Amino acid sequence: MNLRQLRYFVTLAEELHFSRAAERMNMTQPPFSQAIIALEQELGVTLFNRTKRHVELTPVGEHWLECVRKVLDNAEQLPLLARQIADGEIGVLKFGFVSTAAYSLLPSLVADFRLNFPDVKLELAEMTSDVQAEAILQGEIDAGLIIPHGTFDCSLGYLPMLREQLVATVPKTWLENGNITCVNGKLPLAEIAKHPLIIFPRRIAPAFYDTITQYFAQSGYQLEIGQEAIQMQTIVSLVSSGLGIALVPEALRNLDRTGTCYIPLEGKPPIIETGLVWRREDASPAVERLIDLAKPLAIAGNEVQETV
């Protein structure tokens, strides 16, 4: 059975007359009639009741007609579908992201992608940077937003998109009770060093961890780690409970957690970078479209966001 046979069937179902149906298909009646008979024999069912003066669909033919029309409609869409897949306008994009990106790059990038490519299904997964890189190499996800650390596998492409200063998030009660003191609205590192720090474990966020520890080491202050947590939301929640201070990206101001305050750091704060990563050689069309959308954001994001 092929599409031509299905078109013969639909034409006859519409005309209910072999001669007129054959004419519509630009053929003579005998081969047209033989094609219908061959179709019925292949299916093992009778699609039409025939008399010398009358042709009508059987109950099976009537129900099958609707299904065949859907098949033909879908078949006509196949060339367009192929072009849309090739152009990255349809399909699935599996996309990873670090938790910090959920408060900066991710919302605008996802919104732009869905606006421009509504027929591409986005499957989002929150992952640490190291897990993302491995998942991309293994083909488990297509691209991701990561905080880079060290050198990249040569098969990965990388686009730096955002560099932002770290700020301190502190328990609000500490400010109110005078347990911590700001200078001109900013928090000195010497003041931070008096209190335990809540931070990501190095094993899951080496770039973030090293940025903070180097910040302390270069300034000659001892770092006291009071608690480790693997989610940024958890870190801020622990701060709100009074367990310590955390240094977080500027974009975390968008996480308005009761009981916490975000304070700029005195002097020259450390910078954290977030960027888009993907497989170079086998990037899907949908990934290519994502990169195209990310590039204008990257141009703006390459300037460090200054703390106000």
CA-based end-to-end distance of the chain = 70
| Spatial CB neighbours of 290, under 8 Å, sequence gap ≥ 6 | 93, 95, 109, 113, 143, 276, 278
231, 138 contact by CB (below 8 A): no
Domains of the chain: 3-86 (1.10.10.10), 91-161+274-301 (3.40.190.10), 163-272 (3.40.190.10)
Burial class (CB in 10 A: 0-12, 13-18, 19+), 146: buried
Phi, psi of 175 (to 5 degrees): -70, -45
DSSP state of 185: T
Beta bridge partners of 211: none
- Determine the pLDDT at residue 80: 65
Coil, helix or strand at residue 96 = strand
Short-list 296, 279, 308, CA closest to 162: 296
Written as tens digits, the pLDDT of the chain (308 aa) is 888 999 999 999 999 999 999 999 999 999 999 999 999 999 999 999 988 788 999 989 999 999 999 988 888 777 766 676 666 666 789 999 998 899 889 999 999 999 988 888 899 999 988 899 999 999 999 999 999 987 777 889 999 999 999 999 999 999 888 888 898 899 999 999 999 999 999 888 888 999 999 999 998 888 889 999 988 889 999 999 999 999 999 988 888 888 999 999 998 999 999 999 999 887 788 898 899 999 987 755 444 443 33
Whole-model pTM over 0.75: no
**CA distance linking residue 175 with residue 88, whole number of Å:** 51
Instruction: Tell me the three-class secondary structure of 79-142, residue by residue.
Output: HHHHHHHHCCCCEEEEEEECHHHHHCHHHHHHHHHHHHCCCEEEEEEECCHHHHHHHHHCCCCC
